[in-house]
Every structure is written in C-alpha cells, then in structure tokens.
Amino acid sequence: MSDENANWARRSDDVIIGTYARYPATMVKGEGCVLTDADGKQYLDCLAGIAVCSLGHCHPAVTDAICAQARELVHVSNLYYTAPQTELAEILTANSFADRVFLANSGAEANEAAIKLARICAGPDRYGVISLAGSFHGRTLATVAATGQPKLHEGFEPMPEGFSHAPFENLNVLEAMITDQTCAIMCEPLQGEGGVRPLEVEYLKALQALCRKHDLLFIVDEIQTGIGRTGTFFAYEQLGIEPDIMTVAKALGNGLPIGAMLTRKELAASLVPGTHGSTFGGNPVAAAAAVATLKVILEDGFLAQVREKGEYLQKGLEELAQRFPHLASGARGMGLIRGLVLTEKGVEQGADMVKKLFARGVLINFAGNTSLRFLPPLIISREEIDQLLTALGEVLAES
C-alpha cells in the first residue's frame, strides 16, 4: 500500500470498528464510473457502491439537487411536511403498484417497516415470516433473522422469534411450513448477496398464489434489484407478479442514505401515528437526491439502454465461461446485475480473482461463494464493459 492510502488506513484502523474487510485503497474522488484513490490510482467501478451509485459518481443532476436543497433546508423531523419527500413519494407511487410510501434511511430499515406492517395487519397471533435460503434482507436483528444465511446469525443468537427459511425454489416444502401463525412470505426477485440467483418466474407466481390461498402478505425485497437495476424500474414488472409490500433503498438516492417501503393504502391504514417512525427518514437532502435520481432513470430510453447493456455484458461473460470452462460454468442475472458462476475450482480462487482485478483497477466482488458479481453504474458505456471483460479475461487466464 502506498503512502497516502497507507496513512489513511492506519488512521482509520485506529478509530473505526473493524467490521469490514477493506481493500488497501482510500477513495477520494469519483466521476461517472471511475473512482480515484488517495495516491491518484483510478479504478473502473463495476460495483457501484454495491448497487447504489446507479447514475455513477457525482452525477451532475444529483449533485445540483443536493447542493440546492442543502442551502434551503437540511432537517426538520417528520413532525412537519417537506416538499422533497412528498415529491419523491409521488414519483414512487405513480410508477408502481403502491398508493403509500414510508421513507427510511436504508434497506434494513425499509425491511423492518415491511415486517412490522405485515405483523400489525395480520394481528397479534400471526407474526411468522417465511423467507428463502440464501436470501439477504439486512443486518438489524429482525432483518438478519429474516436472512436465510446461517453464517450471518452466528454470535447473535437467539434470533428474534417468528422467522423461518424455506429451501430455494422448493414450493412444496415452503407450503408445508405455513402455519396459523404465518403472516407473510418475503423474497427477493433475484438473490444478489446469494450469488446473483434469479428466481424463476413460475416460482414467483406460485409464491404469490400461495399468499392469496393462505391469506398471507407477499413482501418483495427490491433493495438491490429496484430503481432500474434489472432494466425495468422495478424487477417485479417483468416477472408477472405484484407485491403487497415492496422495499427499495440502495440506488434510490444514488449514494445518499435513503430507503422506502411501498404498499397499498388499505394496508398502510394499519400504521397510524405512533406505530412507526424515523428521525431522519425522508430527510430533505436525501429525498431531493432521490427525486433527481428517479427523474434521470425515468427519462425516455434510459431503461432500454440498461437492458441493451445488460445483454451485452451477459454475452461477454458467457463467452468467457466458454473460454475457461474449468473456472466458470455460465453467467446469469437481469439487466445490469450479472454474475459469472464459478465451478468448484473457480470458487476456490474467487476471492483471489477479485483481488487481481482490484490490482488491475477494476472493482467487483464475490457473492454467495458461487459467483463473481458485476453491478456497474447504469450509465456504463460499452467501451467500459469491454475494459471490464478484457481485465476479467486476463485474470481468468492466469488463474
């Protein structure tokens, strides 16, 4: 690690709790799809802050909105109305199934709100939530309990009561798990942290049908897949399903912390003053950033370009899998969330592949211990995709 990066790393390690396995770079500047570290090295960011900076770093429209709002009003609490959060909720409801929005600060908080809404709607004797093995719903105690990855539960037991996990895409087992206490089924349309695993359309439709059959609420977690990532504004639009409750965050503010729970007005009516809240939820600056972000993503032609570039990346990844069959078995995903699925031999080297790409100035990560995950800004160019594929091909060739 060179001097400036090393200096900041030492200072950080002296004062910040070590919950992250960090790479040896201190990022100081971002523009479009490129990050620059403290020593001036540039990186092609194909992780986008883990599906957050979908318009790239420091997008002019978002930056202008942040600065303009910060000069007018930064915070007043949710005891009062503010224009940015109202405009944001109007855009979200106008472009989704939902009538009502609760604004939070993160995906975990949006999922907490979804769980609370499901429980209060169902009544005191129905509190169980069934989610899927391999899922990821957050890091708070409730959302980590909903997360179907036992390794994330370790050290924090006992988990909060009422959460169970069905095997991935095994409908019969899931239905058998439904009891008189169950109030909701919760799933991601595509498991990002679980290895970029899309759920089959027919399975998702069957989950929704089960909810209707057993009078359960269908919670769809679009924290990673929403806001254009899959080539439609929300992934559910292309899957033939409609949630009762949906959560979004990550890309919503293009880097500012904001999340949202969306639902229908008849369900939202169960949350009355005092039942839920958030000090910073819908903060005017974060909401203004989100409004600017959504306006760009909803411009004519933007999402079509995401789909086209996603197909281009998919084709390039498939070609690499064909060239290196001992390391990769194929590619999967939707839009611009894509994974190169590794073989058993490839999995053994997955983390090292990410480090080798980092050394070449390309940022990705290894998800679910199965796949190299690619989450570039939605504004990435074909030339930048080619840069990614070239670097990845070099790494595979030497692995």
- If you write DSSP's letter for every residue of 221-245 in order, what string do you get? E-TTTTTTTTSSSSGGGGTT---SE
* Contact call for residues 312 and 386 (beta carbons, < 8 A): no
pLDDT at 3: 87
Chain centroid to CA 342: how far?
22
Alpha carbon distance 185, 217 (integer Å): 6
- Model confidence at 1: pLDDT above 90: no
Compute φ and ψ for 301, nearest 5 degrees: 90, -15
The domains located in the chain, with CATH, are 80-297 (3.40.640.10)
* pLDDT at residue 142 tops 80: yes
Cis peptide before 376 (omega within 30 of 0): no
Question: Which pLDDT tens digit goes with each residue over 180-211?
Answer: 999 999 999 999 999 999 999 999 999 999 99
Four-point Cα dihedral 147, 148, 154, 157, nearest 10: 70
pLDDT in the model for residue 181: 97
The dihedral built from the CA positions of residue 123, 127, 132 and 137, taken in this order, carries a sign that is: positive
Q: Could you give the CA distance from residue 210 to residue 290 in angstroms, rounded to a whole number?
A: 34
Read off the pLDDT of residues 38-54 as tens digits, 9 standing for 90 and up. Answer: 999 999 999 999 999 99
pLDDT tens by residue, 84-121: 999 999 999 999 999 999 999 999 999 999 999 999 99
Is the confidence at residue 266, as pLDDT, over 90? yes
pTM confidence score: 0.96
Q: How many Å separate Cα 142 from the centre of its chain?
A: 18
The pLDDT confidence band at residue 169, using thresholds 50, 70 and 90, is confident
Question: How many CB atoms within 10 Å of residue 10?
Answer: 10
Region at 387 (left for phi over 0; alpha for psi -120 to 50; beta for the rest): alpha
pLDDT for 2-32, tens place per residue?
789 999 999 999 999 999 999 999 999 999 9
DSSP-assigned letter for residue 99: S
- Please check the confidence at residue 285 and state whether its pLDDT lies above 90: yes
Closest by alpha carbon to 340, among 330, 349, 351? 330
**Please, are residues 281 and 106 in contact by the beta-carbon 8 Å criterion?**
no
* Locus of tokens 């053994």: 348
Would you place residue 149 in the very low, low, confident or very high pLDDT band (cuts 50, 70, 90)? Answer: very high
Q: Which helix (H) or strand (E) holds 341?
A: strand 337-342
Q: Which amino acid is at 224?
A: Q
pLDDT score at 257: 97
